[in-house]
Structures are given as C-alpha cells and as structure tokens.
Structure 1
Amino acid sequence: MGTTLHQNAPPGLVQDLKVTVHNSSLVFPSQETEKKSMFLSNIDQVLNFDVQTVHFFSEHKDFPPQVITEKIKDTLEKLLVPYEFLAGRLKLNPEIGRLEIECCGSGAGFVEASSEYSLDEIGDLVYPNPGFSHLVCSTDMLKPDDRLLCILQVTTFKCGGFAMGITTNHATYDGISFKLFLENLAAVAADKPLATIPYHDRRLLAARSPPRVTFPHPELLKLPATNPGQLEPNPTVFQATNEDLVFKIFQLSPENISTLKERARSSDEKLKITSFNVVTAFIWRCKALSCDARNVVEKGSMILYAVDIRRRLNPPLPESYTGNAVLTAYATEYRKQLEEGPFSKIVGLVAEGARRMTDEYARSAIDWGGLYKGFPHGEVIISSWWRLGFAEVEYPWGKPRYSCPVVYHRKDIILFFPDILDDHDHDHVGRERKDGVNILLALPAEEMEKFETLFRKFLFG
C-alpha cells in the first residue's frame, strides 16, 4: 500500500493542468560521439532513480511556442555531444558487479506538450502542486524496455509562457552539476560557447585499493549483499508508509532566519552560524519532538543532510565535475537535550556534521560504499534545493519565473526550497543572504499538529 496524502492547498490551485502531449521522440547527439563505458563512483552507484525538475518561463516576444520548442530541441541535440552520457544507457558490468553508463548515442527523450491554462491560472508556483507531474515524463514512459537517462519536456501555456520539465537519472549528476548543465543549455541556446566545459572522469572518486574505512559511519546502513549493482531502482530506508499523512509548507522569512541566527550566537566564537545551519537545527528540533512515542525525550535522534565534497578533498575536484559529489553528514542528540538544551548547541551539532567531512572522512565513506553497498540512514533527512540557484540561470528568453522539484512525499524527508523573488531582486548582490526559505514536510495529522505548535513555540516563544 502507498501513503495517503492530504494537503491544504492554497486557493486557486489547479491540479489538473489539462496537458496534451503532441509529440514524443528520441533526439540524438548532433554529431557522432565516442562509444565507451563510463565509470560510476560508489556515490553514483546507489542513486539509480529519477529526479524531476520544472522550470517555468514567462512569455517572450522573440520565442513564441513553436519557436521555443524547436530551439530547445535543437539545443538539446547539441548538448548531447559534450554530455554524451545523457544519450547513453545504464548497464551492469557482470564481471565486476557494478553499474556503468554505456555511452552509445542511443538518444535522450524530447516531449512536446501544451496546457489549456495560462501560467497565472495554475496558481502558486512555489506550492508543490501534484499537477506539476504532468509537466515531466518518466524515463520509462517513452520506451518501457529502454530506460532513458534524460527526457526534456516543453509544455507551452496559452499565455505564451512555457515550462521546461527535465527528468534525469540521479546517477548522471547531482544538483550542483545539474546547475552547470542548465548554464550550458542557456549558453548553447544563445549560440555561445559552453559556459563550463564538463569534466567527466569519475574515477577521481573511485574507492581506494584496498578500501580503508577509517571512521565509523552511523549515517550509513548496510544492505544485503544480494543483487549488487542492480538495474532496478534501489530500495530506500525512506520508503512510503501505510500511514495517513498530511503535508504542509512552513515559511521562514529573512527576518525569522536573522532571529534564529541571533539566538544561536554564544560564547563559542568558532560556531559557524549560517542560514542553513540555523534552519536545519530549528527544523530538527521541531521534528524530533513531534513524534508520538512514549518517553520520547529519552530517545536519540539523528538528522542527515548533504554536503558538497568538491572543495573538501585534497586535491579538490574540478569545479566542472559532472558526477555526484555530495555525501551525507549527520548530527545526533538525545531528544531531551534537543528540547531543553540551548539552541546554540543544536546549531553546533549541525555545523560539526559538515566540519567532520574532511578528505579522509569522505574517502572512508566512499570506501565503505564499495564494501557494503549501503544507503544513508537516519530518522530524518534534509533535502535542500534552497541555494542551488536554478532560477538564477539567464536564458535567451529570460530567467525562470520559478524552478522547483516535482515532489514525491515521504514522512522522513524534509525539503527546503526557495521562494519566488521579485524581478528586481534577481541582480541584487545580497540576494542570496537575504532570501527566506520554504520548508515542506509530510506527517501523520497528530504529529503535524504538534510540529506546528513546536514551530511557533521555538520561533516566537
């Protein structure tokens, strides 16, 4: 059974976007590419699932619907040359029991669609509308027996605006390298050279030989040794439950975040008080204390969150590295301390989790992955889209009105994502430091009620 979700949608939200698909096809690199196998790191290996994002654009007089559709299709064909792996296929190398990408030029997907609505009619773009799933295409929908690694769908609205829905297998790249892909898409669409030449050699994150696990890794869960490198989507410790869940968005304004930062300041001058650290600490506190367990304050809680390791390695990875270069950091504490202890200590625990991610710790985690084929494991994981900056990319037809993931809710995954900023804020030097954050979570009704109470108590109390 799947999870039942209930939502308090904002007024005017349209969930059936009345999307009609006019054409779906394979697109191929605009010139011949080399046939080869691409090595996937131990981080890539466990991320065999789809990630879907939608990027909304307002009408542009130079790019009416038919023009924009052909322009993006032509651009994708050109991008499949430097990003040749996107036209490839995942395969299992039976000799070593590992997944690889076969760069074979078999093609990416392209879908042309239209909606009967205008952008203004579909409601709040920030709200995780289930209807946004109509704006993307699953990688097994075009050819069920041939799972694509990338599908791009262009959906035009009756106002002349459009949505660019992109589905990629997570093994291809992480959010940071996806941002580079978007910047390159924008550059090629403007008939300019690549903004950044992608770096594809993922052996930079290969495990050591022999592997050396030099740290305990409570943030990772060993999986059974069966089905190594399986091609089916991997199981996850964050499976949907049979519980009835409600989901809500909580907002923290720039002023709220400033308040939390002031509250976190202590005599410890080394404490790294960032917006992410204080928001994560604040949400962890509320979530850990909202669960409906007896003697809950006597139990421990572990929170997980991603850390970019590009600059933490020695030597650092190239900035244009295209693979997955994030690992899971963790913080753990007894709930009694989360409830009664100083907020600065909780922020310190979150900061320490990231500080722990040194070159040796990251290498140890990568080696651990090769030995045990494990997954991140904790009570709750933060998935942050807050500062990835997808909406900051400048295309020939302008910056996105909004960019967001297509959300599939899980009780133990909390999403951070940005708000829509006014146009004049896009070029504001201090924008990244002053914007607020939206927090999405799904919980059973009783826990959600308690979470809301704790949210107000710890923010305003």
Structure 2
Amino acid sequence: MVTLYQKPLDHLLQDLKVTVHSSSMVIPCREIERKSMFLSNIDQVLTFDVQTVHFFSAQKDFPPRVIAEKIRDTLGKILVDYDFLGGRLKLKAETGRLEIDCNGSGAGFVEATSGYCLDEIGDLVYPNPAFAQLACSSDLDTFKRPDDYPPLCILQVTSFKCGGFALGFTTNHVTFDGFSFKLFLQNLAAIAADKPLAVIPCHDRQLLAARSPPRVVFPHPELLKLTTANPSVFETTEEDLVFEIFRLSSDDINSLKEKAKPPGGNSGGSVTSFKVVTAFIWRCKALSCDNATAERQSTVLYAVDIRRRLNPPLPESYAGNAVLSAYATENCTVLEKGPFWKIVESVAEGAKRITDEYARSAIDWGEVYKGFPQGDVLVSSWWKLGFDEVEYPWGKPRYSCPVVSHKKDIIVLFPDINHRGQDHDHDHHHHHHNRDAINVENKNGNGVNILVALPAMEMEKFETFFRRFLFG
C-alpha cells in the first residue's frame, strides 16, 4: 500500500502558456441600492484573497466563446443578488472597523487562453503552483485604483485548446466561507441555466454582531492578541520547504476509525473520517518538528461551521463567514504514545466545545481584543465542501481545487477526483446533527489527499511517523 501520492511522471508544467485577452469590470445588470454592509468580528480578520480553480471538459454546445459570454452575463446578474460582491472594502474612521461599501463598482472579469489541452496540463489533483495562472491576482494594475480597495471578486475564464476550460475565482475571504461559497456557486449555476436562485442568500451579518456589552466568558486559548500592527494569519518563517502529498484511501481511513474506537467500543458516534484524519495528521506534524520534546504542548486548529450551533440557528443560507476555530491541545508524549482514541477524542472535544455561548464569547473576544487564531498545526480542509458537485448547464466540474501556497503550519486536505457514478443528489441541506462545513461524511467513500510543506529534515520525520501510525 503506497501512502505517498504518486508524483506526476514528467516535471510539473511551470508555465501553462496562458495569454490574457481582455480584463474588464462587470457591473450589476441593474441598479442596486447603495448601502454599507456591517462585517462581523469573524469577517474582520479574514481580509485575504482565496483562489479556487474549477476545471471543465469540453462540451460541444458550449464552445469557449459562448462560455465566456455566458459567464460574463451571469456574473452581471448575480451581482444584483450578491450586491456586496461588487462593492469595496472601506474603513469606517469613527469605529476603526472594516465595512463593505455596496457601491456597484463591480467584479473583475478576465478572458484568457492556454496553449495546452486540458489533458496536457497534468494531474489536476496534484497542486501545481502554476494553477495560479488560471486565477487573477486582485492587486493586478488593471483592477487597482490608487484611492480604492481592489475588487472583492475576480473571475477568470481560461479556455484550453481542446475546448475545455477553467473558471478561476479570486474572492476576498471577507465575502464567503467555504459553505457559503458553495451556495454561491449553486446560485451562479442556476442563473447560468436561466433558473431561479437555488438558495436565497441571507446577507444580515448583524446576526453575528458582538453583544453589548461584550461578555467573554471562556479563556479562548485558541485566539492570540495582536501585539504588532499587521501580522498575517499563520505568518511563516523564511525557510526552504519541500512539499509532499500524502494520500489516505477509504480503506486507510476505515482502518484509522477502527484504531480510534475506545475500549468498550462506544465512540458516541463521534468517530468521523474528518476527526480521525485530523488526529492522525496532527500527531505526525507535531512530532516531526525540531522541538518535539516529551512535554512540549501542541495545538491543532480546524474550522467549524457555527450555523447550527447557535441558538437560534443561523439560516443555512447565511452568506458570510460563520466559522470559528476549534482547538485541541496535548503534549507530545500523548501524541506519540497514544492511545489513538484519546487523541481523536481530544479533536472531537474541540468541535463539541463550540456551543452557542462559546461562539458568542469568541465573537465578543474579537470586540474586546484584536487578534487571530493561534496554533502550531492548522488543518485547512477542502475535502468535503463539494464544489465539484455543482451542476452547471455545461455539466459538473472535472475537478475543483484551491490554488495553494505552501506554508509550514498549514496542512491542506483536498478530495480525490470524484468518480461519483450516478450520484445526482443536489440537496445542499446536509441534515446532520453537529454538521460543520468540513465534516460532512462522503457518501462515495473516496480517500483524501494531504498537502504538507516542511523543511526537508522534518518532512523525513513526518513520513516516518505517517507510516508508523498508519501501519503500526
């Protein structure tokens, strides 16, 4: 059983031969009411860009020219329903808070071609840094005005020689979390098919406003108060990193689930794929670092969707950031010697901890202090978000993935290409108790790919632990 992902046989293409033919602004197709949108304390610290690329095979009814016009037209329409997406960030001087000025300035739109066929650019699952050429950076001069923030959304359509194409989205994280972006894609697909919206988005971010006065009733060790002016989330040291992809098959995951069963076999239903994979990766990463002494404490963070955890619950259609960081902390002795079920339980407790009162306390913490989540392992999961399940008039994506940058403390989980056969379930309401955005069980039993970036010596240790804990 091979656990390292099979590297592409040839060298990764470093240049996709992308030529940009036009860059323009798309404004809402009809006039919208100008207003300011309040941003929650969760939104306030997520002002960085997220890029995703969605690959589509050629369709004879949708040649590249038709696709580009169709998507441009659809973007103009969806900017009416998502009026904030065509707005701009602005700093409100009297409060020092960011807001979105819903001013109809528009979203960026880029048309491009690649000199390759889709089948020539290599394994889509393998995160080629060159995929960044398929999504446009928001600091491009075309879209930058000296007196203004850049667009919150830029959509690049890149056609391949075969007629296949890629949609590359650059969205400021302030606009969406993973779950609301999936709903946005479903609405984009519906408008492109001349259908009504799949989901009416909820734009009321006051639902996550801090209480007055703020009541911080938990210690929140997962949050770090700011001491410097503008640090980035998970600032990384300047050192040479190697990156590898480790793969866990569905059989591997089932085997980990078996190991995660506590004595007596009663796991209380909390042994999910996501939790066992997170516990497994956490111990490998924590123990591979240079200062992994027996008593050293390690903290893992992962995102939990709070929509259903609040009382009353947020609407499923809430179109902002409704995620908080769950955390688990253990010393290296526990992480190395186990038992594994205890580590999984520790991870599970992280999500269980986030009740309505805890979530409100964390939001209020952001009112009292300025700060970011802190931990030495952040698991960023794209595994179960289901972007590749969205049905467009031209079909479902062949694959959807983030454009990844390699950061030492961030471990990225992403799915296999979904060989789903006849699975046509479009229901976006996952009726799972305690569902979080990254914890919906995959009906198709696919494995998971794990992107790890570490200094070479630490990577060797990581791989040793990976094999030991999986097969031992």
Question: Which of residues 374, 386, 389 in structure 1 aligns to 2:386?
Answer: 389
2:9 aligns with one of 8, 11, 16:
11
Q: 1:306-340 CA distances to partner (integer Å, 9 max, x unpaired)?
A: 00000000000001100100000000001001111
Name 1:3's counterpart in structure 2. none
| Residue aligning to 2:429 | none
Q: 1:40 to 1:428 in 2, by over 3 A?
A: closer
Aligned partner letter, 1:222? K
What is the deviation of 1:243? 1.3
- Pair 1:170 & 2:173 matched: yes
1:307 aligns with 2:304: yes
Query: 1:247 aligns to what?
Result: 243
Residues in 2 aligned to 1:158 and 1:343: alpha-carbon distance in whole angstroms: 49
Find out whether 1:213 has 2:210 as its counterpart. Answer: no
In 2, are the aligned partners of 1:271 and 1:351 still within 8 Å (CA)? no
Alignment partners' CA distance in 2, 1:416 and 1:270: 25
- CA–CA separation in structure 2 for the residues paired with 1:22 and 1:426: 37
Equivalent position SS for 1:421: coil
Query: Which residue in 1 is equivalent to 2:156?
Result: 153
Letter in 2 for 1:439: I
Say yes or no: does 1:357 pair with 2:368.
no
Specify which of 377, 400, 404 is matched with residue 403 of structure 1: 400
2:72 maps to amino acid: K
Structure 1 residue 427: deviation in Å?
3.9
The two structures have a TM-score, normalised by structure 1, of 0.94
Q: Which sections of structure 1, spanning at least 5 residues, go unmatched?
A: 1-6, 227-233
The CA deviation string for residues 227-271 of structure 1, in whole angstroms up to 9 with x for no partner, is xxxxxxx52251231211100000000000000001111134426
Distance 1:426 1:155, change over 3 A: farther
- 2:21 is paired with a residue of what secondary structure? strand
Q: Which amino acid aligns with 2:446?
A: D
In structure 2, the residue matched to 1:261 is: 257
- Other-structure match for 1:328: 325
Q: Which of 249, 273, 276 matches 1:275?
A: 273
Question: Counterpart of 2:445?
Answer: 434
Deviations 1:440-461 (A, max 9, x none): 0100101000100110011011
Counterpart position of 2:430? none
3-state SS in 2 of match to 1:415: strand
Which SS does the other structure have where 1:278 is aligned? helix
Residue 43 (structure 2) aligns with: 44
**8 Å contact from structure 1 (residues 289, 297) kept in 2:** no
Q: Are 1:183 and 2:186 matched, yes or no? A: yes
Aligned length: 447
Determine whether 1:58 maps to 2:57: yes
1:245·1:445 contact (CA, 8 Å) conserved in 2? yes
Partner amino acid, structure 2, of 1:305 = Y
SS of equivalent to 1:296? coil
Match for residue 444 of structure 1?
Answer: 455
The question of whether the paired residues in 2 share the 8 Å contact of 1:383 and 1:413 is answered with yes
> What is the identity, as a one-letter code, of the residue corresponding to 1:441?
V
What letter matches 2:169 in structure 1? I
**8 Å contact 2:420–2:444 — kept in the other structure?**
no
Secondary structure of the residue that 1:244 maps to in structure 2?
A: coil
Distance 1:118 1:221 in 2: 46
Residue type at the aligned position of 1:139: S
- Structure 1, residues 380-429: CA drift from partner, whole Å, max 9, x if none? 10000000000000000000000000001110000000000225164489
Equivalent residue number for residue 67 of structure 1: 66
Quote the Cα distance in structure 2 between the aligned partners of 1:332 and 1:122: 41
Gaps of 5+ in 2: 427-440
Q: For residues 280-329 of structure 1, what are the alpha-carbon distances to aligned partners after superposition, in whole Å with 9 as ceiling and x for unaligned?
A: 00000111111122x61221110000000000000000011001000000
Calculate the aligned-residue CA RMSD, in Å.
Answer: 1.6
**Structure-2 residue corresponding to 1:86:** 85
Tell me if 1:143 matches 2:143.
yes
Give the 3 Å change call, closer, same or farther, for CA 225–242 of structure 1 in structure 2: closer
Q: Is residue 284 of structure 2 the alignment partner of residue 286 of structure 1? A: yes
